Amino acid sequence: TRTSRPQRILKAVQRKATVGDPQSVITAIDHFCRHREWAMNVGDEKGSILDSVVSEVSPVTVLELGTYCGYSTVRIARLLPPGACVITLEFNPDYAAIARQVIKWSGLEDKVQLVEGASGDWIPWMKEHFGVQAFDLVFLDHWKERYLPDTKLLEECGLIQKGTVLLADNVICPGTPDYLEYVRNSPRYNSHYYRSHLEYTKAEDGLEKSVFLGY
């Protein structure tokens, strides 16, 4: 049967990118998704905003919800200092298998822990299983209707502490209205909207950055 889109994205990386060169992996995926087939990577435009937030926060522990093919995982991991790591959660085992190979091709596997499963199942175990105290940065890019319940779950599990930065993709397209309403109206978050475009298109989309202010 036909290959999957993630498999074709991995092929493009293996054909066009240099092993151990994260930027060439990012460039290869962006070129493929702009000129061959659209795919739901955060993309180059929103990716630059992601880069600036990661650089500003310079996190030691990052949680990414939604790995897909590992594009944003590579964008984040390439900016992390030695000793820092990103835990990335992917629900779809086929996506996870591709992402592992993309992350390996970039040479960043030592900075990445890819976990397969559902956020609701895994978040309560993060402290115990990974020895995480709290996350410095959380990148939300999974099911849009899970952004709000998972943010509340992260709060309840003490994985969000004063200064933790939440960065949410797709707050306009496909949209996360209940999440936006929560972080923008809560006295415990300082929120900012970075206006941009849906990856590889002219449609509006953006990232919402929300800093937890503590209880």
Ligand X SMILES: O=C(NCCCOCn1ccc2cnccc21)c1cc(-c2ccc(F)cc2)cc(O)c1O
Q: Identify whether the C-beta of residue 169 lies closer than 8 Å to the C-beta of residue 179.
A: no
Residues 125-154 that bind ligand X (CB under 6 A): 141-143, 146
Instruction: List the 165-168 sheet strands across, edge first.
Output: 112-116, 85-90, 61-65, 137-140, 165-168, 204-212, 189-197
Q: By CB under 5 A, how many residues form the interface with Mg ion? A: 3
* Among the listed residues 61, 73, 170, 210, the single contact to Mg ion using CB under 5 A: 170
* Interface with Mg ion, residue 169, by CB under 5 A: yes
What x/- string results for residues 27 through 56 when contact with ligand X is judged by CB under 6 A? -------------x----------------
Q: What is the SS3 assignment for 1?
A: coil
Q: Per the structure block, which two tokens stand in for 109?
A: 């596997």
Q: Identify whether the C-beta of residue 40 lies closer than 8 Å to the C-beta of residue 10.
A: no
Distance in Å, CB of 187 to ligand X, minimum: 28
* Interface with Mg ion, residue 64, by CB under 5 A: no
Going by their DSSP bridges, the two strands 61-65 and 137-140 should be labelled as: parallel
* Interface with Mg ion, residue 176, by CB under 5 A: no
Q: Identify whether the C-beta of residue 38 lies closer than 8 Å to the C-beta of residue 6.
A: no
* Interface with ligand X, residue 164, by CB under 6 A: no
Residues 51-80 that bind ligand X (CB under 6 A): 65-66
Q: Identify whether the C-beta of residue 105 lies closer than 8 Å to the C-beta of residue 70.
A: no
* Among the listed residues 44, 141, 150, 205, the single contact to Mg ion using CB under 5 A: 141
Q: Rounded CA gap, 67 and 117, in Å?
A: 11
30, 141, 150, 205: the catalytic one is 141
**Catalytic residue numbers?**
141, 144, 169-170, 199
- Kindly list the residues in this chain that would bind ligand X in the complex (CB under 6 A): 40, 65-66, 89-91, 118-119, 141-143, 146, 169-170, 173-174, 198-199
- Kindly list the residues in this chain that would bind Mg ion in the complex (CB under 5 A): 141, 169-170
